[in-house]
Amino acid sequence: MFRKIKAVCFLTLFAFVSAKAQEVQHQKIENINSAYNEFNPVLSPDGNRLYFTRAGHAANIGGVIDRGDIWYSNVTDSGYTKPVHAGKVINHQGLNGVVGFSADGTRMYLLNYLDDSGNGVGTLRNGVAMSTLVNGEWSEPERLRIRYLQNDSPHMSATISRDEKVLIMAIKSYLTEGNEDLYVSFAQADGEWSQPQNLGNVINTYAEEWTPFLDHNNKKLYFASNGHGGKGSRDIFVAERMDGSWTNWSEPQNLGDAINTAGVELGFSIPFEGNNAYLSSTQDSEGLGDIVSYEMDSPIEPVVEQPAAIEVADEPEVEATQETMVVMTFQVLDKRTEKPVSADVLFEYNGQELRVNTGQLEQNGGKFMKAFEEQTKVDVTIEAGGYLKYTEQFEAFATTQAMSNEFESGVETFFLTPEDVGTKMTIENVLFNRGSDIFSDLEVAHSQIDVVVKMMKDNPGMAIRLEGHTDNRGDARLLKKLSEDRVKAVRHYMIAEGIDGERIEFVGYGGEQPVSDNDNPTSREMNRRVEFVIIK
């Protein structure tokens, strides 16, 4: 069979100097880089201190297996001082990083936070927190209350606008297709932040969009991606808002040879003052990633794509036979403690079976890698002593990983729930309209309850008790009735999805069992929750 093909090809135009491709122009910063992994550089507004994240150092809160703590180096007339660990107040055992600052430098925004509510899901939570400078010291970070925030990835990065009203996050959430996407959230008058909104498929791809940065007027967005093509594993791109919305963007442009290399570039940021931009790169690094600077006086020459139509002569249609293999990284964790679990993992795909016992993996925190043909649908079944059976289906997708840093890329994480009678878990982001048993966001609530529905279908002998809680503002009797009506709404949905009502008990406690005080909006929000307890 023959057909006539009209193809559109893209011609990539580069800036040339003396008829040669432009050379990389960023420079390593002396005294900062080491044999460890340095990334996420952010300069303080006064230009006197450069903060960055360092992973794998023994001085980190979590030791050598820590995903990264905040360190800093002071900027002097003679250069950068020897880096110092930023201390326990603004660091924890998870991934730490500086998101940004207020214009006056008295507020610092940070990745993730510790949750001491004791609600049964561990103490380290995804999100953004704020620390205040008091007498020259940073205060205990307080989380930003972002409505319906959910991140299903171990990676998170973010940027905050200079007016502290716009937050852009790299997360894997409700509308994500593939790996991490960029989402935007806005500060509200009541102190909360709006539900994260996906920036759309001009910016986001099926691969990974990471480390966003907004310029000073909130028009240009810089970010790293391995889904828009480029020179290496991840490149820095820039896109511009086309109107007043946050979903209409220009086509992302690669920042070109002056910035990007065959390695991994991440965390491009432009300080409040000064001529240097900062980023990290693995190209010719001392360790995994190094902090580098770029003189903004030097012009950045983006890669420009121009379409050119090419007529292709009649030729036989040839069916492609080459298969693209996708390498993916996995781990199995306890949902409460977020620690590795010794489990039997079964992958089933294309009539094949592949088994892994994570208990035999002594290194890399139980992480393991497997290769599949691209777009293969894979059914996974996980069983472990003392945990509920877990099943899921996913599609293998292409994502380029840095071979020198394979376990810092995207990781597919499976969370197992302990099967012990009495285990209590919060169903996250099941929120209701004020004084009502109507879900405030039906789609989000259903997506969260579906997780419990699936768990019960996978474990037909399991029975639960739904428990509803409110804060303590109002008449105690009415609050108890309201909490009961709300868990009934959850139960009705679960029954409609095929769960036998005999397996679901329910009770409303009103404000009788707070997990925090009721003195401020944040603690009251923590008290308003729906939980389930395994009773069989």
Please say whether the beta carbons of 467 and 530 come within 8 A: yes
End-to-end CA distance of the chain: 62
What residues make up the domain containing 189?
Answer: 27-295
Q: Provide mean pLDDT across the span 136-157.
A: 89
Q: What is the pLDDT of residue 406?
A: 34
For 135-152, b where at least 16 C-beta lie within 10 A, e where not — what string? eeebeebebbbbbbbbbe
**356 pLDDT higher than 60:** yes
Furthest C-alpha separation in the chain: 81
At 262, the amino acid letter reads A
Q: What is the pLDDT of residue 14?
A: 32
pLDDT one-digit tens code per residue, 468-520: 998 888 899 999 999 999 999 999 999 999 999 999 999 999 989 887 777 77
Q: What is the pLDDT of residue 409?
A: 42
Q: Provide mean pLDDT across the span 277-290.
A: 85
243 and 333 within one domain = no
**9 pLDDT higher than 50:** no
> Does residue 9 form part of some domain?
no
410 and 429 within one domain = no
For residue 133, give the CATH number of its domain: 2.115.10.20
Q: What is the pLDDT of residue 287?
A: 64
pLDDT one-digit tens code per residue, 223-233: 999 989 877 67
Q: What is the pLDDT of residue 147?
A: 87
Residue at a domain's end among 416, 439, 455? 416
267 and 144 within one domain = yes
Q: How far apart are CA 330 and CA 367, in angstroms?
A: 5
> Does residue 320 form part of some domain?
no
Residue at a domain's end among 416, 442, 476? 416
- Among 128-132, 387-391, 432-436, top mean pLDDT goes to 128-132
For residue 351, give the CATH number of its domain: 2.60.40.1120
371 and 495 within one domain = no
> Does residue 4 form part of some domain?
no
Q: What is the pLDDT of residue 118?
A: 40
Tokens of 100: 């940004």
pTM to 2 decimals?
0.67
**301 pLDDT higher than 70:** no
Q: What percent of the chain is modeled with pLDDT above 70? A: 84
500 and 450 within one domain = yes
395 and 434 within one domain = no
Q: How far apart are CA 333 and CA 311, in angstroms?
A: 53
456 and 335 within one domain = no
> Does residue 31 form part of some domain?
yes
Count of domains observed in the chain: 3
**From 86-100, 366-380, 399-413, 446-460, the region with the lowest mean pLDDT:** 399-413
Q: Provide mean pLDDT across the span 389-400.
A: 72
102 and 151 within one domain = yes
Residues 199, 204, 208, 211, CA torsion sign: negative
Residue at a domain's end among 370, 401, 416? 416
456 and 438 within one domain = yes
